[in-house]
Amino acid sequence: MSVQRRRGQRVRVWRTAELVDNRGNKVITADPAGPVEVRAAIIPQRSSKAEVPGQQQINVVRLVVNADLEGVSLWSRVEYAGREWDVVSPPAYHHGDRRTRHWSIDIRERP
């Protein structure tokens, strides 16, 4: 495990769960059972500040987490730095030896 992931920042991740709504439809959503706390290396990807009223601020970062984190998809939710984030793209698995394999997850701050 890399030093960045071992000593990284604490992040809470809600895995994806398939539930049945009150109409009997299958719905994919963040798991209501609760989050999993992991350590992650944080890499800023892109951001833009809203300078004019009506514009939207965009803040995207990449989480690098251990390979044993399963069940994360586009419908998952993340809590990082006291704010809620959405998963932007499907998590990418990077295979390597035991110390270097990891997941990369791009997340965007909720407005």
Which residue range is the domain that position 33 belongs to? 3-109
Q: What is the pLDDT of residues 19-61, one digit of tens each?
A: 999 999 999 998 888 899 999 999 988 776 666 666 667 788 9
Q: Number of structural domains, the chain?
A: 1
Q: What is the CA radius of gyration of the chain?
A: 15
What pLDDT does 53 receive? Answer: 66
The CATH number of residue 74's host domain is 2.40.10.270
Model pTM score: 0.79
Alpha carbon of 44 to those of 14, 24, 41, 47, 70: distances in Å? 21, 40, 10, 8, 23
